[in-house]
Structure 1
């Protein structure tokens, strides 16, 4: 485990937060449907993406960002801090419980990632540099797609081909909304097929797990992530990190975003060294 104090200073030095370093040009397209020719009104309303593309740059990495909200609310977004960092950002909207089951929400997330794989190169990016990220429920979706390979396999995508995952305060046991579907109390932990922990395996893409401080986070959130981290290491994954942001509660999106940028840039630097 790496503590926040050292990492936050390094992240600011590595990333830089001054607008004077921002790229001058970028394009943004909103409300692009990622299901083709759907006749479902709810899908057509919710299953949309916004995409931010850096101009005058090619072969860039793309962060697919899933918003939080307990899988019952929220809205697609492109976090402001992620702009002007040299990579694309895709903000994903998805359907909510109880209108649909949690499994269908994960399937929405997979459909959105499939859209990115199919379309990012035509916009100048690389399908070999797609990163999944998000906060809370959104981070849960990213981990589910990465660890349970079946969702992306349906789209002829190997989850191992993801460039990496940066998860901000995800549930790693069965999501509480999925437990509610089964009539299980919110404070009764379970691990079943709707838990990232259920799908622990070897040879996953690089994964960075970030939470707030263990005593300030939502109940057990740090411990869930610590357990996933430990199990991923035990089965043989080396490129896995657990970062605890001391002094921050569940609303730890910032300062976690600079760490997200630092992680992606670190993976890109390693990729360049291989060439």
Structure 2
């Protein structure tokens, strides 16, 4: 009976937390964040424009020899909404697992359209690459990570050389990238707000990450971890996440695909926060990928 009561109690806590997240996502998740990291700095600039700002989260523990791994995180929001302050829970969760974390803003529609937000993300990434050592990070272990539209942004930076090249950097300087519930192959665009951000009806065909995977690439691409809810109702997980994973694998790129029945589009990132970590081991997967010296070509559904 005690075990049953404990199970029911845990389920009730999870249900209550999930309801709170749906009602007020940013407030709820940040309130649930485990405050085990030191928020090093707030509203630092990686560029001259108002939205070219970031927050930095450092682990409370001492840096390992060579420095912490560094994760640069970009949030989603259909390229027309989002604030770095809403994702404190991401910085806290990852920092508590030994990662230095940069959570960056970027310009959104209607201020800009594709590809301007990619230029911002490239500029933020270049800034992180240049500052990593001064932050106490290992500049050989820098990862890009994003959710939804943010996952699209990091996929484009990792797969398409056009964006980092003008900054004097390349994806080869990255140790890997992590996409949570990202859109990677979404033409024709049917959502009005996304159409507006991508110049509908004149959407550039090369705006799709999947278009930038060369099957006969002489050099393998940047290792990737792709996580998605198997029943994601907003972005088709089979066409987008699984399709990208298959294409990467066929091109010889190390990729991990994790599909979880218990995740929705929103909880693919919300599961980083306690106690929603019970939904799926997203945090464990990210930490394992970042800590691994050679990510494996593995596929799993749970």
Q: TM-score range by the shorter chain?
A: 0.7 to 0.9
Which residue of structure 2 lines up, in the alignment, with residue 224 of structure 1?
Answer: 240
Paired positions, count: 236
Pairwise CA RMSD of aligned residues?
2.5
Deviation at 1:103, TM superposition (A): 0.3
Deviation at 1:229, TM superposition (A): 1.2
Which residue of structure 2 lines up, in the alignment, with residue 52 of structure 1?
Answer: 57
Deviation at 1:269, TM superposition (A): 9.3
Aligned pair partner of 2:222 in 192, 205, 209? 205
Q: Which moved more, 1:23-32 or 1:51-60?
A: 23-32
**Aligned partners of 1:205, 1:216: CA distance in 2, in Å?**
25
**Aligned partners of 2:157, 2:77: CA distance in 1, in Å?**
18
- What SS does the corresponding residue of 1:102 show, helix, strand or coil? coil
Deviation at 1:221, TM superposition (A): 3.2
Deviation at 1:24, TM superposition (A): 6.8
Deviation at 1:127, TM superposition (A): 1.4
- What SS does the corresponding residue of 2:130 show, helix, strand or coil? helix
Note if contact 1:173-1:191 (Cα within 8 Å) is conserved in structure 2. no
Deviation at 1:179, TM superposition (A): 3.9
Larger Rg: 2
Unaligned runs of 5+ in 1: 1-21, 271-275
**1:195 and 2:221 correspond:** no
- What SS does the corresponding residue of 1:170 show, helix, strand or coil? coil
Aligned pair partner of 2:42 in 16, 25, 30? 30
Note if contact 1:68-1:135 (Cα within 8 Å) is conserved in structure 2. yes
Deviation at 1:268, TM superposition (A): 7.5
Which residue of structure 1 lines up, in the alignment, with residue 23 of structure 2?
Answer: none
Q: For the structure 1 residues 99 and 205, does the alpha-carbon distance in structure 2 shift closer, same or farther, using more than 3 Å as the test? A: same
| TM-score under structure 1 length normalisation | 0.78
Deviation at 1:117, TM superposition (A): 0.7
Alignment of 1:41-190 (within 5 A): 43-44=49-50, 46-54=51-59, 56-58=62-64, 59-76=67-84, 77-78=87-88, 79=90, 80-174=92-186, 176=189, 179-180=195-196, 181-184=198-201
Which residue of structure 2 lines up, in the alignment, with residue 261 of structure 1?
Answer: 287
Q: For the structure 1 residues 220 and 25, does the alpha-carbon distance in structure 2 shift closer, same or farther, using more than 3 Å as the test? A: closer
Which residue of structure 2 lines up, in the alignment, with residue 245 of structure 1?
Answer: 260
**Aligned partners of 1:70, 1:136: CA distance in 2, in Å?**
8
- What SS does the corresponding residue of 1:193 show, helix, strand or coil? helix
- What SS does the corresponding residue of 2:207 show, helix, strand or coil? coil
**1:236 and 2:252 correspond:** yes
Deviation at 1:125, TM superposition (A): 0.9
Unaligned runs of 5+ in 2: 1-33, 272-279, 297-302
**Aligned partners of 2:37, 2:226: CA distance in 1, in Å?**
31
